[in-house]
Amino acid sequence: RAKVSGRNSWQVHPQHNDPAADRLRRVGELRHGIERGELVLHYQPRIELDGGAVHSAEALVRWQHPTRGLLSPGEFIELAEDSGLVRELGAWVLEAAVAEAAGWQPVAGRRLGVAVNLSPRQLGDRNMVRLVTDALQRHRLDPSLLTLEITETALMLDPDAALRSLQALARLGVVLAVDDFGTGYSSLTYLKRFPIDELKIDQSFVAGLGVSDGDEAIVASCVQLAHAIGIHAVAEGVETDAQRASLAALGCDLAQGYLYSRPVPVDEFLRWCAAQG
């Protein structure tokens, strides 16, 4: 499958190599990487558009590869998903993010939530609810401070199974978000049935604000749709002050993007929060 990656990418197969053997090698490398604690989380602040306060942070995984440097999820998430390793990866991310966020509460002096991305396979994992419950209890994190982000595409792979998983997760009191909203094909019927708390408007539409009338209309209808069904709208990929201003004018609730901060290591994130006053 064609894949955009850098010249020295971990994913490039040397031509003389057997692709199947190469894949096996990379799966083994990733498994060892997870076991050796080479995964790290970077955090990107999520800001309340009305007032500008820091609301929470999205945890985004990276792999500190021993020889290839810091790899972004685009380099290994798909392999993790296809090989089943995403269960271990996902469990690690959940545990690390919940542990971290539990420690923030006294530091920040205000409630600061954390958002974690779930892969499609995790959503179908019967163990998921147990994992989330255990992590919240072990670290004594208020469930309402944990957001789980699930892509629209993952929800629509098997909507009935997704509904059952979401209902079980919702009973725990965590916040459920639909990620990359607008890029898949969700039906409004399902949206209404799912116990969702947040729509995350995909960054491709946010990028079109002030550039494309079509994108502007899509963003406006996403915000209206979210509010019509009583949930929050979140914009991702906010890079300019003009985009921030349009989103605020449209009544969007939360924003995240390079305008505020790139995803950064936790120390840097906490310093950034402190500097916001």
Residues near ligand C2E (CB under 6 A) are 44, 60-61, 72-74, 77, 90, 93, 117, 119, 179-180, 203, 236-239, 257-258, 263
Residue 180 is a binding residue for Ca ion (CB under 5 A):
yes
Applying CB under 5 A, which of residues 44, 56, 117, 256 lies at the interface with Ca ion?
Answer: 117
Of residues 197 and 236, the one with the C-beta less far from ligand C2E? 236
What is the closest distance, in whole angstroms, from the C-beta atom of residue 60 to ligand C2E in the complex? 4
Residue 61 binds: one of Ca ion, ligand C2E, none (C-beta under 5 to 8 A by kind):
ligand C2E
- Which of these segments, 19-27, 99-107, 112-120, 134-142, binds Ca ion (CB under 5 A)? 112-120
Residue 45 binds: one of Ca ion, ligand C2E, none (C-beta under 5 to 8 A by kind):
none
Residue 198 is a binding residue for Ca ion (CB under 5 A):
no
Residue 152 is a binding residue for Ca ion (CB under 5 A):
no
Of residues 206 and 250, the one with the C-beta less far from ligand C2E? 206
Chain residue whose CB lies nearest ligand C2E: 257
- Contacts with Ca ion by CB under 5 A: the residue count is 4
Residue 77 binds: one of Ca ion, ligand C2E, none (C-beta under 5 to 8 A by kind):
ligand C2E
What is the closest distance, in whole angstroms, from the C-beta atom of residue 114 to Ca ion in the complex? 12
Give CA–CA dist 68/72, Å, rounded. Answer: 11
Binding footprint of Ca ion on the chain (CB under 5 A): 117, 149, 179-180
